[in-house]
A and B are shown apart, each in its own frame.
Chain A
Amino acid sequence: MIELKEVSKSIGGTLVLDRVNLSVEQGECIAIVGPSGTGKTTLLRLIAGLEPLDSGSILLRGTEVSRPGWQLPPHARSIGFQFQDSALWPHMSLCDNLAFALNSGKIRALECLRRAGIEALASRRPSEVSGGEARRAALARALAPAREIVLLDEPLTHLEHALRDGIAQWIAAELKAANAACVWVTHEPAEVHGIARRILTLKDGQLRQMQSP
């Protein structure tokens, strides 16, 4: 479903990703861990098409979407992306945020919010809800049904511990229901225990250690 072949990327003269190879099957969730600044977010941005790659290629659903000098626009990749800071559009209500992302009517957006447990907040703007609720809304946007590929950039960071377990379980259930391929980037391997099938460590630009959780 997601395939990276010999992908390299430099930022400001520093090699962040060095001939990275990765394959994620449908229904599989993998986690990428590593300290800050190692290139985890860059890897997700390359898959999403938000950054051009220097060498190698990326395939989604068996079709090449990125190669040096060419890339399919992000919106044409049909992916879900959870940004680190939620990135909900402040001028839209939660419902409008989802409706815009799904390119659908409000009924489908409301259904997604219901699944996230925040249907009652549908008419509120992001500034009018708590951090945990905003994160749920952003996750609902990323995990909306029919998204076969989901990229999660530290989805549980800055959340209270009491909330984390509940949200992690909900994410796992949604991923399973959608049979989605997921790349989950995190600082803490403990977050993805029981959810990720593989845990990879990104170090010195390469996905090095692999272990089964």
Chain B
Amino acid sequence: MNRWGRLATILSFALFLLICWAPVAALLAAALSLPFSRMDAAWLPGSRRLFLLLETLGYSAAVASLATLIGTAAALYCWRRSQTLARAARMAALLTAAIPPYLHALAWLPVSAALPGHGAGELTGWLSAIWVQALAMLPFCFGIVLFALDDLDPRGIEAARICATDLRLLVRILLPLLRPAIMAAASLALLLTLADHSVPSLFSRSTYAMELFEEFSASHNAGQTLISALPLMILGLLPLVPLARFWQKAAQRPSRSAAPLPPLQTGGITALLLFASAVFVLLPALALSAALAQHFDQPSLWLQAIAAGAPDLATSAGVAALAAIIACLPAVVLSRALIAHPRTLWWMVCTPLAMPSALIGAALIWIWNRDLPLPIYGTFWMLVLAALARFAPLTVLALAAWRSRMDPALLEASRVYASPARAFARVELPLLAPALLAGGMAVFVLSLAELGASLLVTPPGRGTIALRIYNYLHYGASAAVSALAFCLMATAAIVLLAAALLWKRRA
């Protein structure tokens, strides 16, 4: 590595640490400055908090199980069944992944209200929250399992089909081969659900993440919030283990060609798989369309809401675009290092993903709400920093996975024939472009709808579209919510479709 390469590496590491680890370091500093008695009291949860933690864990586990079950079944049904269906399912996964959980709630709030026992029974609220959050997690679970299925060696599957029925193939070959992917899908759903409090709160249920948000809002003490969050953070770190195993295996495996394979003939199970696919592809879209159409006969209310929400949408889009661009900068170099030292760097890259969003907001306030040469606090940049702290690791992972599957000889050949700068600009960067696009889009879409940290760091006089929708949703599904939800989804869909077209052109 030459001098410029070393400098780029140092700057990339510094930028990533500043983005993702400065909040962690700030929280630790705040916690260490607490008197021991307060630390002790915060760390040992009382019986109410302990119950809340168990409830949150049960809720998250139920969401992860349901989403993984339906996602796996849908992926098994769609896998190489037909080009059209597979494409439609992939597109559905791409588009529905961009719908934040609280927008799914928009579609199901009226259904939940109509259920018997609503208002009186806690169970109804929990069941509704589980269902809605599972729908939001479905695309991720479906995507992971389908990716693993696409990666299977077709020769092994064909060999099994010669000597066994498809049902036996499913039980004895496919499911065991898919176990790491299924575990990874469930872990991701668990991780994202543990950190999210928007859906349960809309169904009048509280979770541990919500408790953290409320605690910081009341005390403004970041250190104490960190100590209270420790049980949740430890639970959040556990799913990273199966995720790491899956990612490392998937990243090392060369991509295989999608050889045509006749669809699985699994008797009655096929009907169940088909049902799961229908749930995945159709239900979220139908439910949301119905919710939006409910208020479509009030165009003046829609227009009013859009006019009022336009500045918020512009803020959110600006935050998302900046976060996506900045997140890509350190990822180019960091992804190279992650492949070289996966065991060491995996935790550095992924641990920030286990941080509850409210905690990131609290940390950013602790860092910037003081007399500093850079007047960041109370500005738009707090939102950008919050989005980066939550989602920047995703670009590193996307790029590292892509790099691992690239033929190393391509980069070596460029080193033989061109200077490092020219080889980087003309070969490495164009080869990485699809992964940069994918990672950047993931950050864009997630940042556009980010809520947990924005609730705390949004500057006075400004708002985000997610905040506006969330606030309105507490008063039920109205024309204003429908209009703003439509704007948010349309923005995400347009950007995603543009990215998909660019990807296709590059491929």
Docked Cα-Cα span, A24 to B362, in Å, equals 67
B residues near A74, Cβ cutoff 8 Å: 412, 415-416
**Interface pair A75/B409, CB less than 8 Å apart:** no
Docked Cα-Cα span, A141 to B418, in Å, equals 13
With A73-B420, A103-B418 known as contacts, the answer to whether A89 contacts B427 (CB < 8 A) is yes
Docked Cα-Cα span, A50 to B418, in Å, equals 13
With A73-B420, A91-B506 known as contacts, the answer to whether A100 contacts B426 (CB < 8 A) is yes
Q: Is A15 an interface residue (CB 8 A)?
A: no
Q: Is B414 an interface residue (CB 8 A)?
A: yes
- Which residue of A has the minimal Cβ distance to B427? A89
In the assembled complex, the CB of A102 is this many whole angstroms from the nearest CB of chain B, namely 8
Partner of B409, one of A87, A91, A100: A87
Tally of B interface residues using CB under 8 Å: 21
B residues near A85, Cβ cutoff 8 Å: 407, 409
Q: Is A4 an interface residue (CB 8 A)?
A: no
Q: Is B111 an interface residue (CB 8 A)?
A: no
A76-84, A169-177, A197-205: which lies at the interface: A76-84
B residues near A100, Cβ cutoff 8 Å: 414, 417-418, 426-427
Docked Cα-Cα span, A141 to B409, in Å, equals 14
B residues near A146, Cβ cutoff 8 Å: none
B residues near A77, Cβ cutoff 8 Å: 416
B residues near A50, Cβ cutoff 8 Å: 412, 415-416
Q: Is B2 an interface residue (CB 8 A)?
A: yes
Tally of A interface residues using CB under 8 Å: 21
Q: Is B32 an interface residue (CB 8 A)?
A: no
Q: Is A22 an interface residue (CB 8 A)?
A: no
In the assembled complex, the CB of A137 is this many whole angstroms from the nearest CB of chain B, namely 12
**Interface pair A91/B416, CB less than 8 Å apart:** no
Q: Is B413 an interface residue (CB 8 A)?
A: yes
Docked Cα-Cα span, A151 to B415, in Å, equals 15
**Interface pair B506/A75, CB less than 8 Å apart:** no
**420-447 of chain B: CB within 8 A of chain A:** 420, 422-423, 426-427, 430-431, 433
In the assembled complex, the CB of A98 is this many whole angstroms from the nearest CB of chain B, namely 10
Docked Cα-Cα span, A103 to B421, in Å, equals 13
Docked Cα-Cα span, A79 to B423, in Å, equals 16
Docked Cα-Cα span, A85 to B412, in Å, equals 12
With A75-B423, A81-B416, A101-B417 known as contacts, the answer to whether A87 contacts B410 (CB < 8 A) is yes
Q: Is B219 an interface residue (CB 8 A)?
A: no
**Interface pair B409/A83, CB less than 8 Å apart:** yes
**Interface pair B410/A73, CB less than 8 Å apart:** no
Q: Is B419 an interface residue (CB 8 A)?
A: yes
Q: Is A48 an interface residue (CB 8 A)?
A: yes
- Which residue of B has the minimal Cβ distance to A98? B417
With A73-B2, A75-B418, A103-B418 known as contacts, the answer to whether A89 contacts B413 (CB < 8 A) is yes
Partner of A75, one of B407, B410, B415, B433: B415
A residues near B422, Cβ cutoff 8 Å: 103
Docked Cα-Cα span, A53 to B449, in Å, equals 52
- Which residue of B has the minimal Cβ distance to A76? B419
Docked Cα-Cα span, A74 to B419, in Å, equals 8
**Interface pair A75/B427, CB less than 8 Å apart:** no
- Most chain A beta-carbon neighbours within 10 Å: one of B412, B413, B431: B413
A residues near B420, Cβ cutoff 8 Å: 73, 75
- Which residue of A has the minimal Cβ distance to B411? A87
B residues near A79, Cβ cutoff 8 Å: 416
- Which residue of B has the minimal Cβ distance to A151? B416
In the assembled complex, the CB of B419 is this many whole angstroms from the nearest CB of chain A, namely 5
A residues near B430, Cβ cutoff 8 Å: 89, 91
B residues near A84, Cβ cutoff 8 Å: 409
Docked Cα-Cα span, A174 to B420, in Å, equals 29
Nearest first, the 10 closest Cβ-Cβ pairs linking A and B are A87-B409, A101-B417, A87-B413, A83-B409, A74-B416, A74-B415, A91-B430, A81-B416, A50-B412, A87-B410
Given contacts A89-B414, A103-B422, 18 further A-B contacts (CB under 8 A): A50-B416, A73-B415, A73-B419, A73-B420, A74-B412, A74-B416, A75-B415, A75-B418, A75-B420, A79-B416, A87-B413, A89-B431, A91-B431, A91-B433, A91-B506, A102-B417, A103-B417, A103-B418
14 sampled A-B residue pairs with Cβ under 8 A: A50-B412, A73-B419, A74-B412, A74-B415, A75-B415, A75-B418, A75-B419, A81-B416, A85-B407, A87-B409, A87-B412, A89-B410, A90-B410, A100-B418
